[in-house]
Chains A and B, each alone.
Chain A
């Protein structure tokens, strides 16, 4: 029998950025909101995107929609377009947009599903579970933990693929937090010997980091997951 270690990345319910200029490339979301920005590319983690017009200056394609209420599980887009005016909120389909390294790039209004943004518009994304948001490894797959600097440590697991390259979870924590992290990992691996259970080690649910150690003595702030590609 074996236990299994569960991790979930930091993801908020929603995060917003405000455009400093009229551009289709939005500012990056804050790392404090969505975790590590680099390689934060999984567009299917975004359930919906809204745009709140500062002063009615933007332009939407005729397909731009609004929803009266439901966002989940599937955004209840209506077929009605809403005139863009001061303070109005409009909804665009995430699947029509680009997302890379924590940056949304919105199609312009000349493209179906697009919306030309204006200075001061507020773009809000709503997160959901998506590719590699959460993951679980058997305890026996843990190969080691290493401190890479005072604020960063890495957990190494035997890769899903099973070759000589490992899967790595990078953890940002408080200065000198490695000792507490190592103790927590030891507890995670040994606290319930051969009990056959899943153990939540780090859960970034709703942007709030909850750890197996209720006091989060390591001061963990974010986790990033880098499985070997092509698994």
Chain B
């Protein structure tokens, strides 16, 4: 048995169309980058192995809270929270489980027979866009 977490993402589609859902081994994670104040992208080794463009999961999250005084936007931590919780999920010690890890599942086709670890994932993520190569 390979002791590795497998990271599952699914859009609001029903897993019946291209890029509705994807799963990567945690070891394929290459890094994360903020794209805007409301989006952060998680990058993975591309499945085609060419190294041309990374696979990516663009995660939409909340914007900063309203600020009516000095425009202090840079203190935004929404992206950090997504990164932090992803890190915890990707590396969570889940001995005695099958290591299936739902990072975000936005559709109603939850994987069956996953018991207690089947979930909708990070509540901070409200939408995802999957790019694969």
Contacts and interface: CB of A to CB of B under 8 A. Distances in A.
Interface of A: 1-4, 6, 11-14, 44, 47-48, 69-74, 126-138, 141, 157-164, 167, 194-198, 205-207, 227, 230-231
A129 B87 contact: no
A1 B91 CA distance: 5
Given A14-B71, A71-B71, A129-B74, A231 B54 contact: yes
Given A129-B34, A135-B33, A162-B46, A48 B80 contact: no
B70 interface: yes
A71 B71 CA distance: 5
A1 B68 CA distance: 42
Given A72-B66, A73-B64, A130 B34 contact: yes
A161 B73 contact: no
A206 B76 contact: no
Interface string B34-54: 111100000101100001111
Given A196-B91, A230-B53, A128 B68 contact: no
Contact of B34 (A126, A127, A132, A206): A132
A128 B54 contact: no
B90 A196 contact: yes
Interface residues of B, number: 42
A42 to B, nearest CB: 9
Contacts of A162: 30, 45-46, 51, 54
A127 B73 contact: yes
Contacts of B65: 72-73
A4 B37 contact: no
Contact of A129 (B36, B53, B71, B88): B36
B73 A129 contact: yes
Given A1-B93, A127-B73, A135-B33, A198 B84 contact: yes
B110 interface: no
A198 B73 contact: no
Contacts of B70: 13-14, 71
B100 interface: no
Given A126-B73, A136-B31, A162-B45, A73 B36 contact: no
A138 B5 CA distance: 15
B54 A13 contact: no
Contact of A160 (B31, B78, B80, B83): B31
B127 interface: no
A13 B71 contact: yes
A13 B31 contact: no
30 contacts: A2-B90, A4-B87, A48-B71, A70-B66, A71-B68, A71-B70, A72-B65, A72-B66, A72-B71, A72-B72, A73-B65, A127-B73, A128-B74, A129-B37, A130-B34, A131-B34, A133-B34, A134-B83, A135-B31, A136-B31, A138-B30, A141-B30, A159-B30, A161-B53, A162-B51, A196-B93, A206-B74, A207-B74, A230-B53, A231-B33
